[in-house]
Amino acid sequence: MLIALLPGDGIGPEVIAQAVRVLEALDCGLTFETAAVGGAAYKKAGHPLPPATLDLARRADAILFGAVGDPECDSLERAFRPEQAILGLRKELGLFANLRPAKLFPELADASALRPEVASQIDMVIVRELTGDVYFGEKGMRKTADGLREGYDVMAYNEAEVARIAHAGFKAAQARRGKLCSVDKANVLETSQLWRDVVNEVSADYPDVELSHMYVDNCAMQLVRNPGQFDVIVTGNLFGDILSDQASMCVGSIGMLPSASLDAAGKGLYEPIHGSAPDIAGQGKANPLATILSAAMMLRYSLEMPEPADRIEAAVARALAGGARSFDLGGTVDTTAMGDAVLAGL
Ligand code: NAD
């Protein structure tokens, strides 16, 4: 199995290096090829997503991505900015389903913004549609009849787009506790009414999954009131953007959270949810656990290797139970030593 390593900028290479150490220690037949992406690729090849990088991403069985973003590139024309690389990869590879698990490690209950007894219930996955909705609809600036400036962004989903993300949500629920909550705003939005109708239609293929529907405003409330009720949430791009960040803060540090972006065949790009953190790059302060947990997701969702995935997750839990705390978790353990702690727990 070929893994494309795209370390990117800032702390990206530092956290990817630790994930590779863990994957190599598992000795499960993976080979690795590395390519530049983001600001590093722009400086080397004049583009944040050069053809050689895209080619590697296409050839690989899965992609492990660090982070992109470089303050030195902030004044470039938008098409050459590092962040365009991730948008380009999603588009070119058809990565339409974003999976973000949120689970509280008991050792980190104090890091949650919620009371420990509420936070300890959190064990969910948010499946967010990534390539449609208001971000990709017609948009612009115009003048109203009264001469006022007006911005507009059209929200739209067609039934095929909804069906495909609904299938991803039902499959994720089947792989977990069998509960799917579809989140929309069907009381006011036509887009959401279609969403709800199509999710109901698709549910006929998954009689083993218990489906419920919830309005997005209620969901935002329930995430902090009673997060234990959720197993898998499936939702559109805009609602998912907001809800997944909210769920993240319920389980503590940004340095702990992995994610996956999948295509229709289950091939995926795996990355920590954090960015390139230029403020701490090169100082050994980056927490590599989000990237190490992203590697575990890669084994589980794209490579059909659930056992080594379980081993990684258990080793992370052991490292935390043993007291390993990086700077973001209030400790002083550096990036390599966090990697060492996970290796010791494998
Ligand atoms: P960020 O996630 O990089 O950092 C936010 C804060 O969290 C910073 O204080 C940082 O030090 C800290 N942090 C992040 N990851 C950490 C880790 N693993 N360990 C310890 N602390 C960590 O977000 P930002 O500062 O808003 O953005 C920085 C750059 O990253 C920008 O250029 C942005 O566009 C880019 N970005 C990229 C991605 C991506 O590659 N998918 C995602 C978000 C932001």
For residue range 313-330, what is the model confidence (pLDDT) as tens digits?
Answer: 999 999 999 999 999 988
Instruction: Count CB neighbours of 336 within 10 A.
Output: 14
The predicted pLDDT at position 222 comes to 96
260 and 300 Cβ atoms separated by less than 8 Å: no
Mean pLDDT, rounded, for 11-20? 98
pLDDT one-digit tens code per residue, 116-157: 888 888 999 999 999 999 988 899 999 999 999 999 999 999
Q: What token pair was written down for 76?
A: 């470039």
> Which pLDDT score, from 0 to 100, does residue 111 have?
73
* H/E run at residue 268: strand 268-272
Task: Collapse the DSSP code of 103 into the 3-class scheme (helix H, G, I; strand E, B; otherwise coil) and give the result.
Answer: strand
**Which whole-number Å values give the CA distances from 51 to 41, 45, 159, 305, in the listed order?**
10, 10, 33, 30
Q: How many contiguous H segments (helices) and E segments (strands) does the chain have?
A: 12, 12
Kindly state the average pLDDT of the residues 155-166.
Answer: 97
Residue pLDDT, tens place only, 23-52? 999 999 999 999 999 999 999 999 999 999
Confidence of residue 331 (pLDDT cuts 50, 70, 90): very high
The residue-averaged pLDDT of 183-206 equals: 98
What is the model's pLDDT at position 69?
A: 97
- CB contact at 8 A, 32 and 5: yes
Q: Is pLDDT of 110 > 80?
A: no
Helix (H, G, I), strand (E, B) or coil at 178: coil
Confidence (pTM): 0.90
Burial letters 197-226, b for 16+ CB under 10 A, else e? ebbeebbeebeebebebbbbeebbebbbee
DSSP-derived secondary structure letter, 35: -
CA of 123 to the centre of ligand 1 (A): 24
Closest residue (by CA) to atom 30 of ligand 1?
Answer: 275
* Per-residue model confidence (pLDDT) at position 245: 84
Q: Report which ligand 1 atom has the smallest distance to the Cα of 288.
A: 18
Inter-CA distances, 92 with 49, 84, 228, 291, Å: 11, 12, 36, 23
Ligand 1: does its nearest atom lie under 6 Å from the Cβ of 72?
Answer: no
Of 142-151, 186-195, 251-260, give the lowest mean pLDDT range.
251-260
For residue 279, report the distance from its CA to the centre of ligand 1, in Å.
9
190 alpha carbon to ligand 1 midpoint, in Å? 35
What confidence score (pLDDT) does residue 248 get?
Answer: 81
Buried (b) or exposed (e) across 48-72, using 16+ Cβ within 10 A?
bbbeebbebbeebebbbbbbbbbee
| Atom 43 in ligand 1: residue holding the nearest Cα | 275
Q: Is 14 near ligand 1, meaning CB less than 6 Å away?
A: no
Pocket of ligand 1 contains residue 37 by CB under 6 Å = no
